[in-house]
Structure 1
Amino acid sequence: MNEYTMRCVIRQHRTQNVHWMIPRPVNSLFTGRSELVQRIESTIRNNDQDTTKQKRLVITGIGGIGKSEMCLQVADLLRNDFWGVFWVDVHNPSTAKSDFLAISKKIGSAAESVAESVQALANTKDRWLLILDNADNPEVDYAAYIPSGNQGVVIITSRVPECSQYSTLPAETLEGLNKEHSTQLLLKAARRPKASWELCKKQTLAIVQLLASHTLALIQAGAYIAEGHCRLEEYASKYKQLRERLLKHYPKQQQSRYQHVYATFEASVTVLNDAGEVGQDALDLLGVLSMLHSSMLPLHVFADAWDGAKVALSAKDNETSAIDTTAALGEWHVSHLPRFIDGQADERDDYRLSKASALLVSLSLVTRHGSDERDGLSMHPLAHAWAKDRLQKRQQDEAWVRTGCLLALSWTQPEMWQMFEKQLQPDLKLHLQSFLSPSVQTIFQYGPLNMILPIFLKSGWALKTMREDKSLESMLAGIYEVFQIVPQNPSEEHMGIWDLAARNLEDMGHADQAAKLLEYVVKVRKNTLRETSPLLLHSQHTLATAYHTNGQIKEAVVLLEHVVKVRETTLAETHPDWLASQHMLAVAYWANGQTKEAIALLEHVVKVQETTLAETHPDRLASQHNLAAAYWANGQTKEAIALLEHVVKARETTLAETHPHRLVSQHELAHAYWANGQTKEAIALLEHVVKVQETTLAETHPDRLASQHNLAAAYWANGQTKEAVALLEHVVMVIQIILPPTHPDRKVSERNLAYMQSRAESRELVYLMKSLFLL
């Protein structure tokens, strides 16, 4: 044992706490974190560490998470290890000075400034513990508050992650409590008898999830319940109605410094207001994030929006904006981007965005994520709620418009969303749901109708890409109501709406209505645009797709041959639009019985795409999928299975489980397995597809009915007679409601059911005889 350690041991034996300057007692509601408390206690008491360094520990975390309460616990445990235990609130210079002068007076110093007080504490020969609470301003150098020497121990609490640099001991980051401790804290605060805790576990967990295990929020919720304002089982529903009131409620006893959750976050606004342009940019960014979901927003959205702004400004004089003004993004949208994006600049500059986001991160208001495709920002749900609720009505409207322009212009560049669809789509879906949560009628009050509509239409195309078909249908219904229009009676001035509406009708299983609407769109555009117009060709391509879906195969082939021929004269061989038309023509050929032509064309498309598109690109996978289907129809079963297995594997890495494109590939692979005699594999895959579609598609949707029909056929082939008959009876019952007696799909299903029913009894008898024979 060295001389210094010996002195420490002797001092500990004779130490008695003389000065105890702690602002409040430990909170009786303190729950969990016992391992962390013990670790800190052990680290501070450990005398085997470097004796030449002062022991300093920094605890960081979001406001209201319990950093100060942790210090109260540690101070209480270590009280008799120190001659003096002192607490300084450093959230602003005046409180820091007041607390330091009080310490000086207590220890008999005549210090008149912070510096003199700090020096007086450094000169004290007895052991002391100094807690610097609320070191939350990233612009302040808190080293000025740390006494020199190694006689004392310093604990610093901060929301600023960079403050960890002051720590000579391993810094600690405070996260939310785990579920068990969160429920215990809530029930303690609600003053529920311990004997009843298990009975209300479900309701308690719902509140814990709602409040994201935020310590102060759980205490507030418990106090609200304990004071009789609502019952435990009512809190979740009341929170959704009265969020701001509930998060500003606070207990009368054992209050935290900020009293309620929102006050912990509002304290950071002072820093933002004092930070000049970067502070205002940070507030702008906070407003944008508040209009979206609290989950991760990829930073590439901001870069894509700048790129989209250049496209919008350069396209203001082209024929698209001249004919379809309802769909056009333009100068108004660029001018309403957040101020830290200069859409008029010749080069993109991310400096202001970087500074603004860094400032918010430094205040623990947002979290930065840093992987390649998931480089982005997220917020704690309660910080996110505060960011929205702090805005006045006018400010919220303005924030929605800025966010809408950002998203709409970013969707002009959809490649990133497509390439990482599975990883990004869950977040994008949540962001869109939050962004579109006000009613359509309400949103149109935020700005000029003709400027808000393009934002809606861009959002609609995003919903279409994600196959959020019902959400898109609902949004379109709101647009129809505002403009007093209906797709059954289209008008020329709303062409952008009809484009989107027709695609939605097709996706919702109404291909006949989609075709009629698109026939009108094509007719209008043929009268106003030249034959080679990309807009006209796109409309004709889309109409041909609707024809194909509606069973009008010959019409689809004729129209697609025309589109392919025209695009051949205007586009390069590798252009996505030309390849898309060739792809669709091949699909139509296949449906028309022209299998060889279909295979030849698809093989060409796939070959070109393999040289121009990434392996997981949706267009490349779609072409491979359809080539595999053509192989299967041509009797090339092994080639079909190999290609489909590749497509399914790729789509499982890029698309959500419920995405129709992933499901249709699994369906097609199951079909190929069945044809190849791999009945068990086919059944397993079809059962999965049917199960997912039951949660995502209407009972009458053609895709759902097709999957059920094929599963029934697979059951029959596998000898599962009862299951086959029962499932096909259901399919026929639905089809007879939605399809006329002459429809070919209805005829096929009815014929197959009649066949199964006529042979079911004899088949069951054969199985019974076989089983008796085996016995």
Structure 2
Amino acid sequence: MSKLVEAFADRTYVGQKRFVIYGLGGSGKTELAVKYAEDNIQNYWGVFFIDGSSQENSSASYLEIAKLGGVEPNAKAAKNWLATRVMPWLLIIDNADDEEIRVEDMIPAGTNGCVLITSRNPAHKSYGTVGERYLELMQMEREEANDLILKAAEEPSPWSASLTDSAKVICQALGYLPLAIVHAGKAILLGLCSWTGYLGFYQRETERIRRKRLRQRDRSLSPGERRIQDDDDNMNVFSSYEILLQSLETSQEESAQDAVELLLVFSYLHCQNIRVDVFVHAAMNPMKETKASEKEAQENAELEKRIPRLAKKSWSSWLQEMVLRLSRYIDTPPLLISALKNHENLSATNLEDEIYDRLRRALAVLVRRSLVMKQERSDERYCMHPLVHKWVRERPEMSASQQALWSQVTGAILASSILFPPLGDNEDDRIMRRELLPHILHVRTCQATITDRLKENRGTRKSVWPTITPRWGRREALEAARFSFVYSECGLFQDALQLQSQVRDFAVGLLGEQHPLSIKVTLFLTGTLYELSRASEATRIQRRVYEVCVESLSERHPLTLMVADLLGASLCFLGRWSASLALHEKAVEGLREIYGADHENTLKAIRNLGRVYLRYMEWEKSAKMHRISWDGMKKRFGETHFETLVCMEDLAMSQMRLGGDYVLESHEFMMFVLDERKRALGKEQPYTLLAICNLGRVKSAMGKHAEAARIMKDAVEIADRNLGEDHFGVLAGKTHYAQVLVNQGRLTEAEEIFHTVINKPQYKQSTDEDGEHPDRLIALWYLTGCLEKQGKFREALDICHSLMKSLADIGGEGLGVKHKFATMVQDEITKVEELIQDAKKASETTMFLTLPK
């Protein structure tokens, strides 16, 4: 401990202070790191913990730091946030054992902070920078080990000589490894054996494990089957742990059986931050979804009574419903542990209490044996030692088929804890879903490894019978859909897209592309495509969905109208404003007839209609639509709901164009939106960054250009880092930021940004069948003003002519040149041409005056 204190107290070292603790598994590396943090917490503004066992786990751990910092839930944003904290902080990177791991990728950049690394790999000691740079932990001191086992066994002091002699013999046999010693003390405490009888237990367990491992290794199996390598250094820990687990497996008590099941599930979750409420949600959510489904069915039935045409169903629609019902009937329910099922005749409240109580009893059994630990300063959150965590999954008793079963159980629990929208639409559920990401990543990695192993096993067995491969059915599709929802919320859009594509293929294959379920899954996928800046592809799919809806459901079916509204929004983004306007007007009229003027779906369509009017520069019409949608959402959901804030933001941006007092009201609106998004979503969430940029635009409209430029610069840099420089939102943010720089007189900086934006290939890739992307046209228009102010009239004129050519191509049939924007560009051409003529005349006059007389 003194070496650690001395190293991090060095004030002469300039740079990030790093120290490495390495040694055998179970030698107390993690415990020493945590003890140092606890004893010296007063020296640090914050202490943070990273699982260094893999790059994926490291990234998942950074999500917790991201949440604390209020930044986007990704490792890049979290590391940047930590690197910019000037107050002293300590980062513990634990369990960085693998030779393939690049520890430097887990460390925040810069010179701030202290980093403490624990590893079984001696090569990682090179990362140390201060003091003696590293410390090797081999074994505990004998007296320390004796004290530890006696305290773990809760033996009252003073200790007799015979007791301490027995403790010394056990500690020596266990290699003085703290984790093994704690397990031994717990076994004695629980009465599994006496002090004098423990070594007999231990030696028999060690021999049993070795025999099983040798049998596995000696069989002529594929490399994937030989998953457990000899590791005599850890045998002391494994054997001592097995004694405790065996006692649970042989017990007939409910709490012991629950504890075994819970331990197996924990081993397929990430080893840190395991929330008990996730298990409770997994048991309770199916009832919530059933009630929501029944309510929706009742509302649909009432709609069909009121509007008889909605009740008509084709033969194919009826058949698809039968197929779906049959698939639900023959599909097995999700696999859950015993504590989460078979609770008949209990109300929802009593059921929740019963599940919590049963889980707590099982967890108390595990904590009592030190098989899991309750996390410090946390409410109902647990963790496992990494060595025990891995051994539970890979002990010799666990066959590949058993591993497959328990990884499937774990996946089912995680999936069942996730509610589909509109359920689960509150802050607590959003936080829980983000905290699920490390666990989803871990269980899916385990499942992929187990699947590969099962394939290898089948490949090595010769049989005359056909091989049965695991099917991908409704349960797997639902699990993938729920996991993709979490991926999307956490910004892992490529991973989300992969899962959503599988779900869509399954739904279309089972039900056909015209079934409402297939349509909803497809629309879910197009939203992810938009997040990946694949707008043209998303719009093309939405067009097909709309055609399918019209063919199978009719133009005035509610689902068709909602798809029309979504497609209209996409076409508006791509510059197809005439087609977009027609779709939105149809959607507003139809949805108002079906649901009424105050329904959420109607209000969203009105909001989208207002956005098209904004593109047409119909400021008053746009503001009117947005005020209607804002008032409606506020009455329906409250003023701080996500959808209400979107409507308020749209209203602010429409009114900003009207000038006068409207600008002041827009400023108030944007301040409110920004404060609420920071509170609910975090400081770096994309919608928060959008609010900052729009607030900056309003401030600039008020003449506060310097303040606007300052806040927008920070937001654009964060968005660039989190979303990537090619993201449409980032490009739009840069465009508006550059225009504020123009207003501020920083013309050279602005021009450079404009040129960067307009040369991005994303705009060309996301244009529709004809013309330029509207956002690029806006950037070009702003650029002409920037060039004009610099006296670069020829360049400005060339851009204006190219704008007119682009407008002639937009929308087909010359619709682009009928837009108000075309009149503005033509006026600018006339103005710039006059400026060029004036400049030419001024130049000729100057030449005449300078001629020799």
Name the TM-score, length of structure 1 as normaliser.
0.60
| Structure 1 residue corresponding to 2:236, chosen from 242, 259, 269 | 259
| Structure 2 residue corresponding to 1:395, chosen from 393, 396, 402 | 402
Q: Do the aligned partners of 1:467 and 1:659 also contact (CA within 8 Å) in 2?
A: no
CA distance in 1, matches of 2:321, 2:252: 44
Alignment of 1:296-695 (within 5 A): 296-310=273-287, 322=321, 325=324, 332=331, 334-342=333-341, 345=344, 347-348=347-348, 349-350=351-352, 351-361=354-364, 362=367, 363-367=369-373, 376-390=381-395, 391-412=398-419, 415-416=423-424, 418-420=426-428, 423-424=431-432, 426-437=434-445, 447-476=471-500, 495=519, 497-529=521-553, 535-571=559-595, 575-613=599-637, 616-635=640-659, 636-695=662-721
Q: 1:595 to 1:268 in 2, by over 3 A?
A: farther
Decide which moves more: 275-284 or 621-630: 275-284
Q: Do the aligned partners of 1:341 and 1:353 also contact (CA within 8 Å) in 2?
A: no
Provide Cα deviations, 1:703-736, integer angstroms capped at 9, x if missing partner.
Answer: 1211122222222322333322222221122157
In the TM superposition, residue 419 of structure 1 has moved relative to its aligned partner by: 1.5
> Is 1:293–2:293 an aligned residue pair?
no
Letter in 2 for 1:431: H
Decide which moves more: 723-732 or 131-140: 131-140
Letter in 1 for 2:335: H
In the TM superposition, residue 381 of structure 1 has moved relative to its aligned partner by: 4.7
Q: Compute the RMSD of aligned alpha carbons.
A: 5.2
Letter in 2 for 1:401: Q
CA distance in 2, matches of 1:104, 1:384: 31
In the TM superposition, residue 88 of structure 1 has moved relative to its aligned partner by: 9.2
| Structure 1 residue corresponding to 2:775, chosen from 712, 737, 745 | 745
CA distance in 2, matches of 1:610, 1:331: 44
In the TM superposition, residue 331 of structure 1 has moved relative to its aligned partner by: 7.6
Q: 1:304 to 1:137 in 2, by over 3 A?
A: same
In the TM superposition, residue 455 of structure 1 has moved relative to its aligned partner by: 1.6
CA distance in 1, matches of 2:648, 2:451: 44
Letter in 2 for 1:746: R
Q: 1:421 to 1:101 in 2, by over 3 A?
A: same
Provide Cα deviations, 1:129-151, integer angstroms capped at 9, x if missing partner.
Answer: xx998553699499x999xxxxx
- For 2:256, the equivalent position in structure 1 comes to 279
| Higher RCO (Cα < 8 Å, 6 or more apart) | 2
CA distance in 1, matches of 2:693, 2:568: 24
CA distance in 2, matches of 1:28, 1:297: 22
Provide Cα deviations, 1:569-616, integer angstroms capped at 9, x if missing partner.
Answer: 444766544443443344344344444444344334434444553654
Letter in 2 for 1:629: M
Indicate the SS of the match to 2:340. coil
Q: Do the aligned partners of 2:228 and 2:394 also contact (CA within 8 Å) in 1?
A: no
Decide which moves more: 471-480 or 677-686: 471-480
Provide Cα deviations, 1:240-276, integer angstroms capped at 9, x if missing partner.
Answer: x999869x8454xxx9xx723x556544423432253
Q: 1:511 to 1:104 in 2, by over 3 A?
A: closer
In the TM superposition, residue 416 of structure 1 has moved relative to its aligned partner by: 4.6
Indicate the SS of the match to 1:677. coil
In the TM superposition, residue 543 of structure 1 has moved relative to its aligned partner by: 2.5
Structure 2 residue ranges without an equivalent (≥5): 1-26, 40-118, 120-136, 167-180, 196-223, 298-316, 456-468, 794-853
Q: Do the aligned partners of 2:418 and 2:433 also contact (CA within 8 Å) in 1?
A: no
Name the TM-score, length of structure 2 as normaliser.
0.55
Indicate the SS of the match to 1:634. coil
Q: Do the aligned partners of 1:87 and 1:132 also contact (CA within 8 Å) in 2?
A: no
Q: 1:447 to 1:266 in 2, by over 3 A?
A: farther
Q: Do the aligned partners of 1:700 and 1:738 also contact (CA within 8 Å) in 2?
A: no
> Is 1:73–2:144 an aligned residue pair?
yes
In the TM superposition, residue 335 of structure 1 has moved relative to its aligned partner by: 4.2
Letter in 1 for 2:786: M
Q: Do the aligned partners of 1:589 and 1:595 also contact (CA within 8 Å) in 2?
A: yes
CA distance in 2, matches of 1:479, 1:431: 21
Letter in 2 for 1:393: A
Provide Cα deviations, 1:414-440, integer angstroms capped at 9, x if missing partner.
Answer: 555641477445423323333443559
Q: Do the aligned partners of 2:574 and 2:766 also contact (CA within 8 Å) in 1?
A: no
Q: 1:410 to 1:720 in 2, by over 3 A?
A: same
Q: 1:105 to 1:523 in 2, by over 3 A?
A: closer
Q: Do the aligned partners of 2:335 and 2:409 also contact (CA within 8 Å) in 1?
A: yes
CA distance in 2, matches of 1:569, 1:552: 26
Q: 1:451 to 1:714 in 2, by over 3 A?
A: same
Letter in 2 for 1:294: C
Provide Cα deviations, 1:3-30, integer angstroms capped at 9, x if missing partner.
Answer: xxxxxxxxxxxxxxxxxxxxxxxx9999
- For 1:724, the equivalent position in structure 2 comes to 750
In the TM superposition, residue 517 of structure 1 has moved relative to its aligned partner by: 0.9
User: Aligned pairs, how many?
Assistant: 567
- For 1:236, the equivalent position in structure 2 comes to none
Indicate the SS of the match to 1:336. coil
